[in-house]
Structure 1
Amino acid sequence: MNTPFIRNHQYNLIKKQTNQVLHALRTVSDQRVLETVRFRAAQSMIEAFPVLAHEQEQLLEQVSTLETANDFEKYLSDLVPYLEPYPPISPKQIQKLFPKHKKLKVPDLGLIDFRFVTYLSWIDIATNRLFLVYPFAGQFIGIEGRITPTNKKGYCLLCNRHQELAFFSVITKKGMASSDHYAAIGHYICMDNHVCNKSLTNTEALQKFILSTRK
């Protein structure tokens, strides 16, 4: 039985590294350079995991033996059963994260392939508000704010890829819980969360942004 251990952003990083190796195989003739590219790809993949069992490390290191486009395609396909999906969540749990929105429109969770999801988000077009749910430290964190399309491409804060952007602004209470002081925290993120989830290879910026709204 395949025990899942690869999260979506780690799988995206693996895809990125395999693409780099395949590109090198097609464009580089120096074997020493190719071996270096293979080694660095394997190391980058392994370093993306805080802890790996020996068998899991061996599985990832197979990238060093691949030669053809079919080999790489099969390698990525064979890793899919090891994907660790986004934690189970129900519409009722989502509703509790946003108690101020009594008529919250939750996306159809049955249509989502949670193996390829790092964060869950959707836009309420009627109010121009984006809702984002992220699993952190054994619980779900929900943040919401105004989303404004820019009709421009740029680098997304979350996935660091050149994509169609929107400005996401979250109002947060600063200081102690009794404080009446509020501030807006905003960043440019992908307009399409599906594209962002497919591109995200590191959760550091995502977590930093989410936690900054809770101070």
Structure 2
Amino acid sequence: MSKLFIKNHQYNVIKKQAEFIQNALRNVADRSVLETVRYSALTNIVEAFPDLTEEQQQMLEQISAFETAYDFQGYLGELESYLESYPPITPKQIEKLFPKNKKLKMPDLQSIDLRFVTYLSWVDIAANRLFIVYPFEGQFSGIEGKITPTNKKGYCLFCNRHHELAFFLVKTKPSVPSPDNYAAIGQYVCLDNQVCNQSITDTGSLEKFILSVRK
């Protein structure tokens, strides 16, 4: 099998369910309970993949038989070779997404392992600006907004995990005409986008947010 079929957020689902099983193995002695845990974990994994081939599903189902941390680590390492990378993007493409920003600070694309990226993001600390680039509906979408650290932990809109948060405020066109001719939409998101990309297991909230600010 050589086809790449696992996206970053799906890989995170597998990691999360692997942790779920391992935690049960450490703390539960009842084999029937353990089998229920394994079944639940595998169901969650398979449901994250809408179009699995029989061979791909058989590969994922191997997780049900593992007993040791070494087994799980080896399995996750093997699956990395099937990760579908974030689409290639150039600095020039990024610049075109933010035409009004003449002093755009660019991310160091060479230093990023795009296999583990669901959305590309970086912060211009000097300007307190957060930039997000996401491959949506066959093209890249760029979002820029003000970022304000909250110095507290909570649940991120994008990954729905408990991390250090920042308030992300994006100007957008108002649904009802206003004197300022703009509205603003704000949400709490992870302050560290790398942590968020390592945690996100579903792209629904991220895509809904992108649609809300693209209007």
Describe how 1:126-145 pairs up with structure 2 within 5 A.
126-145=126-145
- Cα displacement (A) at 1:2: 2.0
Counterpart for residue 118 of structure 1: 118
Inter-partner Cα distance in structure 2 for 1:35 and 1:181: 58
Shift in Å at residue 214 of structure 1?
A: 1.1
**Share of identical aligned residues, percent?**
66
5 Å matches for 1:153-164? 153-164=153-164
Gaps (5+ residues) in structure 2? none
Deviations along 1:80-131, whole A, 9 cap, x unmatched? 0000010000000000000001221111100000000000011111211111
- For the residues of structure 2 that align with 1:129 and 1:180, how far apart are their CA atoms? 21
Q: Which residue of 2 aligns with 1:34?
A: 34
Runs of 4+ displaced beyond 2 Å: 174-177
Letter in 1 for 2:135: P
2:52, 2:90 → 1: CA distance?
A: 30
CA distance in 2, matches of 1:194, 1:78: 22
Alignment correspondent of 2:5 = 5
- Mapped to 2, the partners of 1:68 and 1:166 lie a distance apart of 37
Match of 1:192 in 2: 192
Q: 2: CA distance between counterparts of 1:209 and 1:203?
A: 10
Q: Which residue is equivalent to 2:94?
A: 94
Shift of 1:175: 3.5
Return 55-64 or 168-177, whichever deviates more: 168-177
User: Is the 8 Å Cα contact of residues 173 and 180 (structure 1) preserved in structure 2?
Assistant: no
Match of 1:151 in 2: 151
Which residue of 2 is the match for residue 210 of structure 1? 210
Residue type at the aligned position of 1:29 = A
* One-letter amino acid of the counterpart of residue 182, structure 1: Y
Output one character per residue of 1:143-184: Cα deviation in whole Å (capped at 9) or x when no partner. 10000011111111111111111000000002499x963111
**Is the 1:167–1:187 Cα contact (8 Å) retained in structure 2?**
yes
Offset of residue 25 of structure 1: 1.1
- Alignment RMSD, CA only? 1.6
What amino acid maps onto 2:38 in structure 1?
R
What are the within-5 Å matches in structure 2 for residues 163-202 of structure 1? 163-175=163-175, 181-202=181-202
How far apart, CA to CA, are the structure 2 residues paired with 1:75 and 1:105? 38
TM-score by length of 1: 0.96
TM-score (ref. length: structure 2): 0.96
Give distance in 1, aligned partners of 2:176 and 2:117: 33
